Amino acid sequence: MKPIRTLAFVVNADKPGAVELAAELVRIARARGVRIRRTSHFPLPRGYLRGCDACCVIGGDGTLLSAVREAARERVPIIGVNRGSLGFLTTFSEEEARLGFDGLLNGGFRIDRRAMLECSVAGGAPSLALNDVLIKNALQTSLVHLEVFADGELVTDYVCDGLIFSTATGSTAYNLSAGGPIVHPQADVIALTPICPHTLTNRSIIFRDSVKLRVLNRTAGARVLVCLDGMGELRASADEAIDISISRQRLALAQQRSYSHFAVMRTKLKWSGGAAERR
C-alpha cells in the first residue's frame, strides 16, 4: 500500500487507555509529517474522511462499526486498534499498533475488502451495514410475523422474535449468538438466522451473493424496527417491504500482512484441540 499522508483518528474515550494510546500514535504520525484529523464523536458525519488515506479507529468493534459507512463511501481503509473485548474487526492490539505504527504509516499493511449489506424500507434511500441487519418488534418483545422472499420467490413466513441477516464478517456477531453459522469473511454470502422461531425446524439459510431479499411485515397492528449494525434507524409498518442485498460498496479493512483468520478465531473463541496442543 502507498504511504499514509493524511490520517483520521476515531477514538472511543470511554475505553481504558484509548486516549493515551491515541496521543502516542498522533505524536508518531506528526513526527513523520502526516496530517491528522481526530475525533471522539461517532458515528462519523458524511464527508469527515474525505481526502484521508486511512482512518485509525481506537476502541472496540462497536466503535469501528460507527465509522464503516463513511469509510466505505469515501473508500478509506480502516486500521482498527482494539481497546475493547473480543475485537474481531479491530485486529491490531495496542502493542502491535505502537510497535508497528511506523510501518503502517509507510503502507506496511494489506487490505481485506469486506462485503456490506444494503437495506432500504418501502423503497426509501438505502443504508449500509457491515455486520448485520436485524428486524424485530419496534415497541415490545412480542413475536413478529415476517415473510421472506428471495429473488421474488417465497422462502417461508416466520413467527419469531426477529430475523438476523448477516454478512460473512458479521457471522461471528449476533448471528453466532443466535445459533447461526460461522462464515469465512471471503465468502460473499448472506446468512439468514431466525431468533427463537415458533417453528422449531426454522434454521439458518445461506444465500448467494447476488440474491435480492425482500421481507414483508405481516405483524398485525405493529411496526418492526430495522437495526443496521446495532443502530436502530428504520421502521416498517404492516405490509411495507424491507429490501436487503449485498452492496457494491465494500469496506477496506487494514490487516497485518501476517494476519490469519483462523488464528483469530482460535484466540477469540478459545478454540482448542489436539493440533493446537501438538504445536
Domain with CATH 3.40.50.10330 in the chain: 6-109+256-278
Which amino acid is residue 226, in one-letter code? V
**CB-count exposure of residue 205 (10 Å: 0-12, 13-18, 19+):** middle
pLDDT tens string for the chain (279 positions)? 899 999 999 999 999 999 999 999 999 999 999 999 999 999 999 999 999 999 999 999 999 999 999 999 999 999 999 997 778 899 999 999 999 999 999 999 999 999 999 999 999 999 999 999 999 998 777 899 999 999 999 999 999 999 999 999 999 999 999 999 999 999 999 999 999 999 989 999 999 999 999 999 998 888 899 999 998 778 888 888 999 999 999 999 999 988 899 998 898 888 986 555 455
Residue 196 phi, psi (nearest 5): 50, 60
Residues contacting residue 88 through CB under 8 Å, at least 6 positions apart: 61, 169, 172, 173, 264, 268
- Report strand pairing: 224-228 vs 231-236: antiparallel
Catalytic residues: 61
Q: Quick one: fold of 6-109+256-278?
A: Rossmann fold (3.40.50)
User: In sequence order, what are the residues at sequence separation of 6 or more whose Cβ sits closer than 8 angstroms to the Cβ of residue 237?
Assistant: 217, 223
Domain with CATH 2.60.200.30 in the chain: 116-248
**Given the C-alpha cell 430475523, which residue does it identify?**
163
What distance in Å separates the CA atoms of residue 135 and residue 162, rounded to the nearest whole number? 5
- Rounded to two decimals, what is the model's pTM? 0.92
C-alpha cell at 78: 480502516
Architecture of the CATH domain 116-248 = Sandwich (2.60)
Q: In what order do the strands lie in the sheet with 224-228?
A: 205-207, 190-195, 162-166, 132-137, 224-228, 231-236
Residue 279 has a pLDDT of: 52
